[in-house]
Amino acid sequence: MFRRLNAVILFTSDIKRAVEFYRDDLGLPLQNATKDTAEFFSSGTKIVIKSYSEAEQVKGEATTTAPTRSGILIGFTIQNIDELCELLKKKGVRFLKEPRNEAFGRHAIILDPDGHMISLAQIKGTVQEEFDLLGAIGTE
């Protein structure tokens, strides 16, 4: 069911400082950056840094304080998201975001026992590495 780990998404209160650390101190290749998001690596598992405020705005709750959830989201690409989600529901897994259509395909977010977010994405087409991780947060 799980194809591969697509992304690790970290939330930060200071995006500039985080980019400087990952790009300058660690030497990771910065592929894309906005005022609220930075994406490292162009293929394989990506590291995405998002500001707390950007993540909360996506959920429709603009704020300057850190969200109450864990500051990490692990993103998996899935072949059949609906089948997997039905199986997970039967096992009692908690859903933060039920499966739904997004611009890049179908998407859901589940929670592990400690409240860490796990993104499940079934991407349209054959080039799964190019989907926009900004859509991977919305839980409204």
Say if pTM beats, i.e. exceeds, 0.85: no
pLDDT for 13-27, tens place per residue? 888 989 998 998 888
Specify the pLDDT at position 119.
92
Structure tokens at 108: 């859901």
pLDDT for 45-64, tens place per residue? 999 998 876 445 445 444 44
Specify the pLDDT at position 53.
66
CA distance 125 to 135: 16
Specify the pLDDT at position 101.
96
CATH, range 2-131:
3.10.180.10
Specify the pLDDT at position 12.
86
**Judging by beta carbons within 10 Å of its beta carbon (0-12, 13-18, 19+), is residue 138 exposed, middle or buried?**
middle
pLDDT for 111-134, tens place per residue? 887 787 889 999 987 544 444 444
Q: Please count the residues of the chain.
A: 140
**Judging by beta carbons within 10 Å of its beta carbon (0-12, 13-18, 19+), is residue 137 exposed, middle or buried?**
buried
**Domain residue spans in the chain?**
2-131
Cross-strand partners of 9: 48, 73
pLDDT for 61-113, tens place per residue? 444 444 555 568 888 888 999 999 999 999 999 999 999 999 889 999 998 87
CA distance 105 to 107: 7
Structure tokens at 13: 């209160």
Q: Which residues of 66-79 are buried (b: 16+ CB within 10 A; e: fewer)?
A: eeebebebbbbbbe
In 3D space, the residue among 104, 22, 24, 109 whose CA is nearest the CA of residue 72 turns out to be 109
